Chains A and B, each alone.
Chain A
Amino acid sequence: DIQMTQSPASLSVSVGETVTITCRASENIYSNLAWYQQKQGKSPQLLVYAATNLADGVPSRFSGSGSGTQYSLKINSLQSEDFGSYYCQHFWGTPYTFGGGTKLEIK
């Protein structure tokens, strides 16, 4: 199975700051990567697909980048509604696997 290593596990930030979350795959996943946001008690919601494409309705302050085994999710000018947990997931064949998550907390 492809292992997805996400960092950091948690991050304490202030509104208005910029954050970057990284995800490393154990092998080349050829940009077959999605990012999700999960609020407490809710299901994950799609943010980015194919490494760099924003899902419908996702604000432009979110952006995805990367290739090969290294990927990033960047959030510019954090808003209060952006706090929660973020997960990466690969789609380079099954079994699909997820990163361990990054919890974004208010400083």
Chain B
Amino acid sequence: DVQLQESGPGLVKPSQSLSLTCSVTGYSITSGYYWNWIRQFPGNKLEWMGYISYDGSNNYNPSLKNRISITRDTSKNQFFLKLNSVTTEDTATYYCARDDYGRDFDYWGQGTTLTVSS
């Protein structure tokens, strides 16, 4: 079965960068699908952040402008989120999810909570 698991530091200081990892088991991220990051803010609003495709191409939410980067390590079957210049507004639960070619998010990780605070 496909499983995704996020990991990250839990706490980041303002102006720093956040880095999160999504480890995927049960399916190779180079075989297909789009591999996404989504976040949920306190108050429960969900925001799609972007994805890395099975072929390595990216698609990002313009709202994140030049702060976001999604990369991967195919040898470890992991993909990563990097978000630069974080503020307290980036405090959220971050999820990774598999995107069935723009149809739905069919598998999600359990989420990792990130707090931005000095």
Chain B residues in the interface with A (C-beta under 8 A)? 44-48, 59, 61-63, 95, 97, 100, 102-106, 108-111
The 12 listed contacts between A and B (C-beta, < 8 Å) are A42-B110, A44-B108, A46-B104, A49-B106, A50-B104, A55-B106, A89-B46, A94-B48, A94-B61, A95-B62, A96-B48, A98-B48
Per a CB cutoff under 8 Å, which of A44, A50, A100 touches B105?
A: A44
Whether A49 pairs with B48 at a CB distance below 8 angstroms is no
Chain B residues with Cβ below 8 Å from A46 are: 104-106
**What is the CB-to-nearest-CB distance from B52 to chain A, in angstroms, rounded to a whole number?**
13
Query: Bound state CA distance, A42 and B40, in angstroms?
Result: 11
Interface residues of A in 25-65 (CB under 8 A from B): 32, 34, 36, 42-46, 49-50, 55
Chain A residues with Cβ below 8 Å from B105 are: 34, 36, 44, 46, 89
Secondary structure class of chain A's binding surface, majority of residues: loop
Whether A43 pairs with B110 at a CB distance below 8 angstroms is yes
Interface size on A, residues (CB 8 A): 23
Chain B residues with Cβ below 8 Å from A100 are: 45
Q: Give me the 8 closest cross-chain CB pairs, A-B, nearest first.
A: A49-B104, A43-B108, A98-B46, A96-B48, A34-B104, A95-B61, A91-B102, A43-B111
Interface residues of A in 67-107 (CB under 8 A from B): 85, 87, 89, 91, 94-98, 100-101
Chain B residues with Cβ below 8 Å from A50 are: 103-104
Per a CB cutoff under 8 Å, which of B102, B108, B109 touches A45?
A: B108
**What is the CB-to-nearest-CB distance from B88 to chain A, in angstroms, rounded to a whole number?**
21
Whether A43 pairs with B109 at a CB distance below 8 angstroms is yes
Query: Bound state CA distance, A44 and B103, in angstroms?
Result: 15
**What is the CB-to-nearest-CB distance from A3 to chain B, in angstroms, rounded to a whole number?**
13
Query: Bound state CA distance, A42 and B48, in angstroms?
Result: 17
